[in-house]
Structure 1
Amino acid sequence: MFEYPVVLESQPEGGFVVTFPDVPEGITQGEDEDEALMYAIDALETALSFYVDARRPLPVASAANGRPTVRPSALECAKLGVYQAMTEQGIKKSELARRLGWHMPQVDRLFDLTHASRFDHIEAAARALGRQIEIRVA
């Protein structure tokens, strides 16, 4: 989930530019393919935070079709999953705060992708939406 294909474009002056067909706000570059893909994770996380901040639905990832893919960190994927469940159900942050017995700043921090939220808080939010967090090591 939240694994997005990227387009790596070699540049005449050297290096690679990375763009996301499904997330046009995400763009970055690197000196080589590995560095470009590493920076692509940060660019994706930043771009997806724009959607969360604007309370817009998250973009759906298209098929990779042989392209490399990147995804946010596990913690951010969990936060994005809770955000997606909340938007799919039409639940506002204030309702989630009420269900959890939290103050609004706590809910705001939960959806701040740069904040290192506690995992048990993310799990509690998922449960309040009738969901659960699943983790796997591949």
Structure 2
Amino acid sequence: MNTLYPVMLEPQEPSGYCVQFVDIPGAITEGETLEECLFNAAEALTGVIESYIELGQEIPRPSENIKEAYYIAPDARVQSALLIRWARGDRSLADIARALETSWPSAQRLENPHHSPTLKQLERAASVLGKKLVLSLE
């Protein structure tokens, strides 16, 4: 599963760029340099997805192969919550809690963007969801 969202940079006058996500309309930011834009984009994406999760809103999947786009991921806490949520699909949190042999609140924390699950918890959850945990540094 992919959590890299495409972002487009549009030059602004007299300087800098406007940064807009293709799939997340509420995630808009700006910056003077490319580096600043990409940093701000990650912050904006993290904040908007956190908000979507807290409000129980549907989170769009990221588009792929957008020409001239930069691809940005939210922070690790939000990525893990998002991936667990997507992998769970229609299964209830109660089903996941039973499969993990844990409490419902413990299972719910896996989808909480303010909680940092351990690698062991993520690995167990991935296994229960029929997935494999894969880490990447970029």
TM category, shorter = 0.7 to 0.9
What's the offset of the Cα at 1:8?
A: 1.1
What's the offset of the Cα at 1:110?
A: 1.4
Alignment of 1:52 onto 2:77: no
Counterpart Cα distance in 1 of 2:133 and 2:65: 24
The equivalent of 2:72 in structure 1 is 70
Kindly indicate whether the alpha-carbon contact (under 8 Å) linking 1:100 and 1:125 is maintained by their aligned counterparts in 2.
yes
Over the residues paired in the alignment, what is the CA RMSD in angstroms? 2.2
* 3-state SS of 1:46 partner: helix
The equivalent of 1:114 in structure 2 is 114
TM-score by length of 1: 0.81
Kindly indicate whether the alpha-carbon contact (under 8 Å) linking 2:9 and 2:17 is maintained by their aligned counterparts in 1.
yes
The equivalent of 1:104 in structure 2 is 104
Identity in percent: 27
Letter aligned with residue 87 of structure 2: A
What's the offset of the Cα at 1:38?
A: 0.6
What's the offset of the Cα at 1:26?
A: 1.3
What's the offset of the Cα at 1:61?
A: 1.9
What's the offset of the Cα at 1:127?
A: 1.0
Stretches of structure 2 that go unaligned for 5 or more consecutive residues are: none
* 3-state SS of 2:3 partner: coil
Taking the TM superposition and a 5 Å limit, the aligned residue runs for 1:1-138 are: 1-12=2-13, 14-53=15-54, 54=56, 56-74=58-76, 76-87=78-89, 90-137=90-137
Number of equivalent positions: 136
Letter aligned with residue 124 of structure 1: R
Kindly indicate whether the alpha-carbon contact (under 8 Å) linking 2:23 and 2:60 is maintained by their aligned counterparts in 1.
no
